Amino acid sequence: MSFYQTLQHTTAHEREHLLSAPIIEACRRGEISRQTYLTFLAQAFYHVRHTMPLLMATGGKLGQEYEWVRGAIREYIDEEYGHQEWILSDIRACGGDAEAVRHGQPEQPIELMVAFLYDQIARGNPMAFFGMVQVLEGTSVAIATTIADQLKSGLGLPPQAMSYLSSHGALDQEHLKFFASLMDRVENPADQGAIVHAAKVVYRLYGDMLYSLTERH
């Protein structure tokens, strides 16, 4: 079994918990309010704005024997730069206050998720960053495009209000292939363990954010 397959298998329970969040099924049925969608976008902004700093911090902490990983990080930086601004544009298109979100603070699950990743990079194993990639890219491939289509019809929102979800559903299919090939080059057991651990934690915390979207109403 390749490491990517092992990663998928070992985190299956946590992934199922995330995908069982009631908000996902509500989105598929088109039963979501504009305010709930805006709340989701705000929380997405609060972690996506850290993608660049986390990528750069990871690259900076890796030793010279990880130059092959730094090359992948460069590609991620090229692909991911500026995506937080896409989210703010979506918020504006939905009639939300993008500047209030820009200067606001995340709710606890996302705050803890981001802090955990910085801590793993700074004090633990920087390869843990790829546990977050496993969660967010895998989740977006599984649900983003379907949910964007349902939201578009259910809320009557224009396409420009869905740029973050729509683009990531399509983009991350290619990203996931790239990620799988990258993970299959990870042979160090300590690196593998750090990635698995981080994926489990991020599945739980990102899932907590998704569950909170229905619990608040």
CATH code for the domain of 42? 1.20.910.10
- Evaluate if residue 96 carries a pLDDT over 90: yes
177 by Cβ neighbours in 10 Å (0-12 / 13-18 / 19+) ranks as exposed
Judge whether 74 and 18 are in contact, CB under 8 Å. no
Whole-angstrom distance, CA of residue 34 vs CA of residue 163: 15
pLDDT computed for residue 171 by the predictor: 54
Q: In the chain, how many domains are there?
A: 1
Cα separation, 201 vs 135, whole angstroms: 10
pLDDT 10s digits, 139-176 = 776 666 667 666 676 677 777 787 777 776 555 566 77
pLDDT of residue 146: 65
Tell me which residue range forms the domain holding 104: 3-214
* Per-residue model confidence as pLDDT tens digits over 101-119: 999 999 999 999 999 999 9
**Integer Cα distance of 138 and 116 in angstroms:** 20
Mean pLDDT in residue range 16-22: 91
Over 70: is that where the pLDDT of 89 sits? yes
> For the chain, what is the mean pLDDT?
88
pTM: 0.92
Q: Is the pLDDT of residue 216 over 70?
A: no
CA angle, corner 176, sides to 175 and 177, nearest 5? Answer: 90
